[in-house]
Amino acid sequence: MPLPPENLLAAESSPYLRQHSANPVHWRAWSAAALREAQELDRPILLSIGYAACHWCHVMAHESFENEDVAAVMNRLFVNIKVDREERPDLDQIYMAALAAMGEQGGWPLTMFLTPDGKPFWGGTYFPPEARYGRPGFIQVLEAVDKAWREKRQSLTQSADGLTVHVGERLAASRDRASLDIDTLTTLAESIDGMMDRTLGGLRGAPKFPNTPFMTTLWLSWLETRNREHRDRVLHSLETMLAGGIYDHIGGGLARYSTDAEWLVPHFEKMLYDNAQLLRLGNWVYAETGNELFRVRIEESIAWLLREMLVDDGAFASSLDADSEGHEGLFYTWDRDELAAVLGSDIDIFNRYITLSNPENWEGKPILRQTLQQQADSIADSDTFTPLKQRLRSAREERVRPGRDEKVLTDWNGLAITALADGGRLFARSDWVDVAAAAFNSITGSARAGRLPHSRLKDAALFPALSSDYAAMINAAIALYEATHQTRYIKQARDLCAQLDRWHGDDAGTGYYLSTSDAEDVPLRIRGDVDEAIPSATAQIVEALARLANVTGDIELHAKAWAVAEHAAGRARHQSYGQAGIVNACALVIKPLKLVVVDETEDSKLVSVANRIPDPRRVDHFVPIGATTDLPLLPGAGEPPTKKPGAYLCTGPVCLPVITDPVKLEAALRET
């Protein structure tokens, strides 16, 4: 029987879907039942994919989905399905790839028209209610699609079949394995370097995204080749990004991207994944340079995470909206009168360190930004500048806050846990490690029969997890092991890897699928090879396998990681973009570094050196003097002696002679 002719989103676990529960559109969530309804009614599907922090998603919802006339046309002609892309990245990747294959520019909201069995035949992104911006009006689109469906159905069905095959060949196919070669990393780094904006940082042009996978490629190339140009591209990009309007100079944290080439005008949504990745990159950069700018920005951004993104059970929410009170960026922007009302005569001091910008085509209040000189001065004069920011942040708390998407995404939380655990080691902040551990316990504690959820909103959870969830949590477990020295995290990482193998591994042992083997509602089971704002699922899996093999000394697991990496590299050769994550992860397989430190549990000088010099290629073990159990294995040499302090640094199967001097250990770690 068809589903009831009404909106069915009120009981969903996604805040984004719930935002649309009062629409007059007869929305359904994606499900086998919704697909059956389309087939029984013999109607095409109108699929709308977005996310809670998406500005243009809100615009289209207000203009069209809240409009009774538009809704009436949608309800009469289509089965209407709404999807949260953060809950269902597997579906989003399929239909975004279909849109790209049509020659259209991707983005959200994604608006796709499907056959009753879920195959795409036409689509776009945002459509205005009436024709403008060079786009047809939405009702015009709906009626044209309906007319084409009635009059040219056979042609559309054939087109949908061909498009589905094309998407499957791109996202789900197997390829011949490729030999792993570190030169692939350096070649990609040179290519990325050629695309970098020498003046403004980041990639040339607009819009500008942080693009952490690319920054990671450059950083790994610097570590491998000591090419200072690659190192300096990362440093300069971070410096300019952190001075721009994309950074929240009052409350900490980065917005998702800037609409211009100068990092000035952001889309003001703040995403957990962006900030988690930038924190981890910031840790590496601070450890390399000692530049106080990066320390301050890390501390400010973690303070923001703990203040605004923690949910009640210790995990992290997904995002903050760009809009409040119906206006983009209203919460974050200030005019001079508002600043003066809070700061009084101190506004002149504040203006030494901050520039109010009114860029062309920006209709809101001025955006706070810094010149590079102001940024440097504000760090040097932090005793003066910080209290002024705190006064403004307190005043800002009285404003209407942007909406928060409180769903807890497992993979994004894994990224945040790893960044916090690494930062806790670097800055000797055990409180950050404690927060990371609490978030980890929150995620793993929500498992059922050993299986993680992908998403959770209070007591409602979306099962099963995706392969990216298991990979991110394996990496998080290893980071917590390094930060706490508790071997239980290694056992948990192994258990998570077993679940990954059971539910996501392919039959040939060549890799993994994004969705589970028992998923009943996916039209196509894809690999998850392409980077988006975060490294691809495959990239995270290769990293997880490589690090787990390294930390355990498991030779069979290392061989498996190598084989999975070779097949991933083979598939990446057929991608036109989005392969940086796989290349970066393969570099960790090719050249694994392992450090085993035997030291005192109190005042451990060798351990403190290792903590101060992080390296994404390295896993660290810390063994108390006199320990006799749970000892790590040295490559080819068994267990380390534990009667006196010593550090054992190994590259692949080869270890340096034991190092007992902290100064020599620092030199060895920086030279590796």
- What is the mean pLDDT of the segment spanning 449-468? 94
Q: What is the pLDDT of residues 525-558, one digit of tens each?
A: 999 999 999 999 999 999 999 999 999 999 999 9
- Which pLDDT value is given to residue 23? 98
Same domain, 262 and 378: yes
Q: Which of 347, 381, 406 is the last residue of a domain?
A: 406
Give the closest residue to 478 by CA, choosing from 402, 388, 392, 540: 540
Same domain, 235 and 124: no
Give the closest residue to 249 by CA, choosing from 262, 236, 234, 268: 268
- Which pLDDT value is given to residue 672? 79
- Which pLDDT value is given to residue 500? 98
Same domain, 116 and 255: no
Q: Going edge to edge, which strands form the sheet with 27-29?
A: 27-29, 79-84, 45-50, 110-114, 120-124
Does some domain include residue 156? Answer: yes
Same domain, 273 and 162: no
Same domain, 210 and 342: yes
- What's the Cα-to-Cα distance from 527 to each of 92, 400, 403, 505, rounded to whole Å? 13, 42, 33, 10
Q: Which of 406, 441, 467 is the last residue of a domain?
A: 406
Q: Which amino acid is at 392?
A: L
Same domain, 325 and 252: yes
Residue 114 — φ and ψ, nearest 5°? -125, 155
Give the closest residue to 247 by CA, choosing from 210, 273, 277: 210
- What is the mean pLDDT of the segment spanning 309-333? 95
Sign of CA dihedral 541, 543, 549, 551: negative
* In the predicted structure, residue 53 carries a pLDDT above the cut 90: no
Count of structural domains, the chain: 3
Domain range for residue 279? 202-295+308-406
Does some domain include residue 457? Answer: no
Same domain, 129 and 235: no
For residue 407, what pLDDT band results from cuts at 50, 70 and 90? Answer: very high
Same domain, 62 and 134: yes
Same domain, 254 and 392: yes
CA distance between the termini of the chain: 65
* In the predicted structure, residue 637 carries a pLDDT above the cut 80: no
* In the predicted structure, residue 173 carries a pLDDT above the cut 90: no
For residue 105, what pLDDT band results from cuts at 50, 70 and 90? Answer: confident
CA–CA separation, 134 and 663 (whole Å) = 64
Same domain, 261 and 150: no
Q: Are 231 and 288 in contact (CB under 8 A)?
A: yes
Q: Give the total residue count for the chain.
A: 672
Q: Quote the tokens at residue 411.
A: 């993979």
Give the closest residue to 385 by CA, choosing from 356, 353, 355: 353
Does some domain include residue 394? Answer: yes
Q: What is the pLDDT of residues 10-28, one digit of tens each?
A: 989 899 999 999 999 999 9
CA–CA separation, 462 and 446 (whole Å) = 11
Neighbours of 154 (CB within 10 A): 7
Does some domain include residue 151? Answer: yes
Does some domain include residue 437? Answer: no
Same domain, 167 and 210: no
Does some domain include residue 579? Answer: no
Q: What is the pLDDT of residues 118-167, one digit of tens each?
A: 999 999 999 999 888 777 899 999 999 999 999 999 999 999 999 999 99
Region of 418 on the Ramachandran plot (φ > 0 left; ψ -120 to 50 alpha; else beta):
alpha
Average pLDDT, the chain: 95
- What is the mean pLDDT of the segment spanning 427-436? 98
Same domain, 346 and 224: yes
The domain spanning residue 46 has which CATH number?
3.40.30.10
pTM of the shown model: 0.96
Residues 6 or more apart in contact with residue 244 via CB below 8 angstroms: 258, 262, 263, 264, 369, 370
Residues 6 or more apart in contact with residue 365 via CB below 8 angstroms: 329, 330, 333, 334, 335, 338
Please compute, for residue 229, the number of CA atoms within 13 A of its CA located in the half-sphere on the CB side: 10
Q: What is the pLDDT of residues 437-454, one digit of tens each?
A: 999 999 999 999 999 999
Does some domain include residue 246? Answer: yes
- Which pLDDT value is given to residue 228? 97
Q: Which of 149, 171, 193 is the last residue of a domain?
A: 171
Sign of CA dihedral 115, 119, 125, 131: negative
For residue 1, what pLDDT band results from cuts at 50, 70 and 90? Answer: low
3-state secondary structure of 43: coil
What is the percentage of the chain residues whose pLDDT exceeds 70?
100
Does some domain include residue 661? Answer: yes
Neighbours of 24 (CB within 10 A): 17
